[in-house]
Amino acid sequence: MGTKRNTWKSVILILSCYKVKCSLEESEKQVLKQGSFQRLCLSDVSNSSSTQAIEDLSISFGGSKLYAFTLEELREATSSFSWSNMLGEGGFGPVYKGFVDDKLRPGLKAQTVAVKRLDLDGLQGHREWLAEIIFLGQLRHPHLVKLIGYCYEDENRLLMYEYMPRGSLENQLFRRYSAAMPWSTRMKIALGAAKGLAFLHEADKPVIYRDLKASNILLDSDFTAKLSDFGLAKDGPEGEDTYVTTRIMGTQGYAAPEYIMTGHLTTKSDVYSYGVVLLELLTGRRVVDKSRSNGGKSLVEWARPLLRDPKIVYSIIDCRLEGQFPMKGAMKVAMLAFKCLSPHPNARPTMSDVVKVLEPLQDFDDVFIGPFVYVAVSENGNKHKI
């Protein structure tokens, strides 16, 4: 179960829970005027001057069906938000496992779900909840977690998602007393997350995800990776602009250096965060680990210079893999992480470049190749295994 972590988001985020500013009629008119479905931007909704209720927001979302639930219905689905159903807790609030079927709503598929409830005493609020609905309600992709519905009742804000049986990458990768995650699984997750980001970056109206980290990559039963948590997502720059300027938010260790320095956000900021996740997958280490000695506190500072040195790179790959990884493949992934973590945004690859590099590296079958054996040649020419 996740604990509340001290993220910048929770420190810097001082967003007020302002009254909903959304006109459904306005949004609908806009969609109808455009003839075919076009994605509604967050600003279209949050800048609207009307204060009409949001209850039926889903109907303005073209083909995707979103359910507007009552609090009572979500109570029913989660056994009254019982402790035993709690899956974890992040900055938004607690997350509960639940179950829904067509007895709750006609047509609703029988399925296990995850229900996220806004902590009314927390630092996140209506804005993150709305961003989640605006982005995930409209964007559908095999590598984005599916939003099923939401609840807006008095000050209550909740979200219902498809249930991801293996929880987050953070839980799986850094779990203490379990077998190490095999190389092939790591590569599958790396590719899935890359495809999810590439989809966002290449959409008609590009989206900058802004909060890529191991805890926001959720895993299906077969380790298919899906991006979750769109509370910080932003619409990409429009027209001549090459970046969007925002208040600096994100999670310590994952945010790109130029974004921290200037507040200028581009899709390349996501590529940097992706590089951090790739490094975590390679090394099995957390990006920020307070338990490590001073030199090792920042994973990126410590590991980046080693990533392009073929003689050293193997020494930083997760030792729990016990050598069960392909040498050449690992070298390519290390080089990819090196490029994603470049301090110069333009030197970073695009996410589709990343997908292209990772796709051919998927077929390693984790056959045990044994411990590393070094053959030393002694002065008399005899070979000794060490």
Nearer CB in complex with Mg ion: 94/349: 94
Which pair of tokens denotes residue 261? 């320095």
Q: Which residue is nearest to ligand ATP (CB)?
A: 90
Rule CB under 6 A: choose which of 44, 132, 229, 258 binds ligand ATP. Answer: 229
Stretch that binds ligand ATP, among 53-61, 158-166, 200-208, 297-305 (CB under 6 A): 158-166
Rule CB under 6 A: choose which of 61, 135, 163, 338 binds ligand ATP. Answer: 163
Give strand pairing partners of 36: none
Residue 173 as a binder of ligand ATP (CB under 6 A): the answer is no
Cα–Cα distances in Å, from 113 out to 76, 163, 197, 220, 259?
A: 12, 4, 23, 12, 35
Q: Which residue is nearest to Mg ion (CB)?
A: 229
Residue 93 as a binder of Mg ion (CB under 5 A): the answer is no
Residue 150 as a binder of ligand ATP (CB under 6 A): the answer is no
Cα–Cα distances in Å, from 320 out to 76, 118, 191, 323?
A: 43, 37, 21, 8
Rule CB under 6 A: choose which of 22, 31, 58, 90 binds ligand ATP. Answer: 90
Half-sphere exposure of 363 (CA within 13 A, CB side): 1
Residue 95 as a binder of ligand ATP (CB under 6 A): the answer is yes
What SS3 class is residue 314? helix
Partner in contact with 274, chosen from ligand ATP, Mg ion, none, beta carbon below 5 to 8 Å by kind: none
Which amino acid belongs to residue 182?
P
Q: Residues 230, 141: contact at Cβ < 8 Å?
A: no
Q: Smallest gap, in angstroms, from Cβ of residue 228 to ligand ATP? A: 6
Q: Which residues 129-148 are close enough to bind ligand ATP by CB under 6 A?
A: 145
Residue 184 as a binder of ligand ATP (CB under 6 A): the answer is no
Nearer CB in complex with Mg ion: 229/280: 229
Cα–Cα distances in Å, from 353 out to 205, 252, 271?
A: 20, 26, 11
Q: Smallest gap, in angstroms, from Cβ of residue 93 to Mg ion? A: 11
Which pair of tokens denotes residue 348? 């970073």
Residue 167 as a binder of ligand ATP (CB under 6 A): the answer is yes
Q: Which residues 8-67 are close enough to bind ligand ATP by CB under 6 A?
A: 9
Phi, psi for 20 (deg, rounded to 5): -60, 130
Could you tell me which of 42, 2, 7 has the C-alpha nearest to residue 22?
Answer: 42
Q: Smallest gap, in angstroms, from Cβ of residue 57 to ligand ATP? A: 20
What SS3 class is residue 152? strand
Could you tell me which of 337, 335, 342 has the C-alpha nearest to residue 309?
Answer: 335
* Burial profile 163-180: b = 16 or more Cβ within 10 angstroms, e = fewer: bbebbbbbbbbbeeeeeb
Identified catalytic residue from 44, 211, 229, 318: 211
Q: Is 56 a catalytic residue?
A: no
Rule CB under 6 A: choose which of 136, 218, 281, 317 binds ligand ATP. Answer: 218
Q: Smallest gap, in angstroms, from Cβ of residue 273 to ligand ATP? A: 13
Rule CB under 5 A: choose which of 40, 41, 58, 90 binds Mg ion. Answer: 90
Rule CB under 6 A: choose which of 41, 74, 100, 114 binds ligand ATP. Answer: 114
Phi-psi domain of 249 (left: phi exceeds 0; alpha: psi -120 through 50; beta: other): beta
Chain residues that interact with ligand ATP, rule: CB under 6 A: 2, 5, 7, 9, 87-92, 95, 114, 116, 145, 161, 163-164, 167-168, 171, 215-216, 218, 228-229
Which residues are catalytically annotated?
211
